[in-house]
């Protein structure tokens, strides 16, 4: 397995139904990580990034949250439809996707 240049942590924390903080899993976190995996597989991007589940990253109200290292960029409210933009613009292109970046004060 090649050493990936970047790591993508996708919150997939679950909580009981009606929990006041909800959870990224309830908002589609699983679909988001699956979309990263599908893109990595289809486009053979395993040396560019590795995507994995994470537990709660903190700002649950804004989820699903996606954290990219080594830059430490947090994306919030990410949907599976946003994944290609994060890959193409940030992970491959080196430019943060400003429209998805967590607001200052959250991260």
Q: Which residues bind ligand FES (CB under 6 A)?
A: 11, 13, 23-24, 56-60, 63, 65
Dmax over Cα atoms in the chain, in whole Å?
41
DSSP string, 26-58: TTTHHHHHHHHHHHHHHHT-TTTEEEEEES--S
Min dist CB 86 to ligand FES, Å, is 16
Of 24 and 87, CB closest to ligand FES = 24
Min dist CB 33 to ligand FES, Å, is 12
Strand 66-69 versus strand 6-11 pairing type: antiparallel
Of 94 and 105, CB closest to ligand FES = 105
């Amino acid at each position: 397995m090649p050493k990936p240049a970047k790591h993508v942590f996708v919150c997939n924390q679950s909580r009981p139904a009606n929990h006041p903080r909800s959870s990224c899993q309830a908002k589609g976190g699983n679909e988001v990580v699956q979309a990263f995996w599908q893109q990595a597989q289809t486009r053979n991007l395993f040396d560019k990034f590795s995507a994995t589940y994470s537990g709660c990253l903190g700002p649950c109200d804004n989820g699903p949250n996606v954290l990219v290292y080594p830059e430490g960029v947090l994306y919030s409210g990410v949907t599976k439809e946003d994944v290609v933009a994060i890959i193409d613009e940030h992970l491959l292109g080196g430019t943060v996707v400003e429209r998805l970046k967590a607001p200052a004060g959250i991260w």
